[in-house]
Amino acid sequence: MTCNRIEPLLAFLLAGTALAACGEPFDPPSLIDKTRVLGARVEVTGDTTRATPRPGESATVTWIMAAPEALPPLAWTFVVCRYSAGTPAEACAPAPLAVAQGTGTPSFQVQVPTADVLGTTPRLQLFGQVCQDNAPTLDPQTNLPTCAGAGTMATVDITLQLGEQANHNPALAARPFWFDGAEWPADDAAADCTSLPHVTAGSKGHVLRLATLAEDRETIVTPSTDPTAAPTTTREVLQISNFTTAGKLGQTYSFVEADDPRSEADVDVTWDAPELSPADGRVHFTFVARDLRGGVGLVTRTVCVD
């Protein structure tokens, strides 16, 4: 099921993107034509399906990166701060809870403070910079990372589990995928074009189909403000962001709505192949599923263009 709903503002998708000159057409958001940060997946230590750590637990945060070809050399710094309704600098004052640094694809562990330290804080906020060919530094005035040259800001909230109701990551990678009606197997770095779908350059109307299951949209129980009324029970919305390194996707976002009664809801996306075959003959796709409560699922696929 798809619709044209607008995705909530995601700073990590927009930061570092230069505005086109007046009259110059924009590339669609679904096209990976530069190194980009597409999101972050939180996995609780000891239960990688859970996206909501409890106070005192730790979690691994892995950022989803994409580039037209191989990722360039990257260096990154992230700060972990308490939630604030104000500016990032206010959230990180007087000092961050933790600082993480590294190279390559950003992935690091976050130790959640205990409840006596956090108080009523409902979530943590992570602010970072992913820099290309330069090393990030911390601004002593704001406690926030900056890049000396080319870089992208990346930020995400980690929702904390303060009660019994956990939130889990959608298991997108475990779901069936089809390309033009044929099973579309997962590929890896060693896969060659003998095991991948083939299309002709310039061909149009290819159908990419992903199956989602009911458990990908968890049930949410919300207590009523009226003590005499029963809690409200709803389902999550599943939003899927679609990306490709070449060609044109029919839509950037797909949705399975909360009131969709199907136990298996297929999502269809059309794709037109590029007019010219890429240098290595391959086009890569990335699909990022969000339950809009902090849970994230990821799947990648590849086709060969002749």
Q: Quick check: helix, strand or coil at residue 49? A: coil
Asked if residue 23 belongs to a domain, the reply is no
Asked if residue 15 belongs to a domain, the reply is no
Question: What's the pTM?
Answer: 0.86
Task: Kindly tell me the number of DSSP H helices and DSSP E strands found in the chain.
Answer: 3, 21
From 112, 136, 159, the end of a domain falls on 159
Asked if residue 22 belongs to a domain, the reply is no
d(CA 283, CA 240): 19
38 lies in the same domain as 148: yes
123 lies in the same domain as 215: no
Antiparallel, parallel or unpaired: β 123-132 and 219-222: unpaired
Asked if residue 24 belongs to a domain, the reply is no
Q: Give, for 91, the enclosing helix (H) or strand (E).
A: helix 88-91
What pLDDT score was predicted for residue 36?
94
What pLDDT score was predicted for residue 17?
34
Asked if residue 21 belongs to a domain, the reply is no
Domains of the chain: total: 2
138 lies in the same domain as 225: no
From 133, 159, 185, the end of a domain falls on 159
Residue-wise pLDDT tens digits, 90-149 = 999 999 999 999 999 999 999 999 999 998 899 999 999 999 988 899 999 999 999 998
User: Which positions ≥6 away from 90 have C-beta within 8 Å?
Assistant: 84
296 lies in the same domain as 263: yes
Asked if residue 181 belongs to a domain, the reply is yes
238 lies in the same domain as 294: yes
147 lies in the same domain as 180: no
pLDDT less than 50: residues of the chain: 1-25
86 lies in the same domain as 133: yes
Range of the domain at 194: 172-305
142 lies in the same domain as 206: no
Question: Tell me, what CATH number does 261's domain have?
Answer: 2.60.40.10
176 lies in the same domain as 136: no
What pLDDT score was predicted for residue 190?
62
Asked if residue 2 belongs to a domain, the reply is no
Query: Residue 108 pairs with which residues in a beta bridge?
Result: 61
123 lies in the same domain as 200: no
d(CA 199, CA 196): 10
216 lies in the same domain as 152: no
Question: Tell me, what CATH number does 69's domain have?
Answer: 2.60.40.1930
From 159, 192, 209, the end of a domain falls on 159
Asked if residue 18 belongs to a domain, the reply is no
201 lies in the same domain as 127: no
Q: Which two tokens stand for residue 279?
A: 């240098």
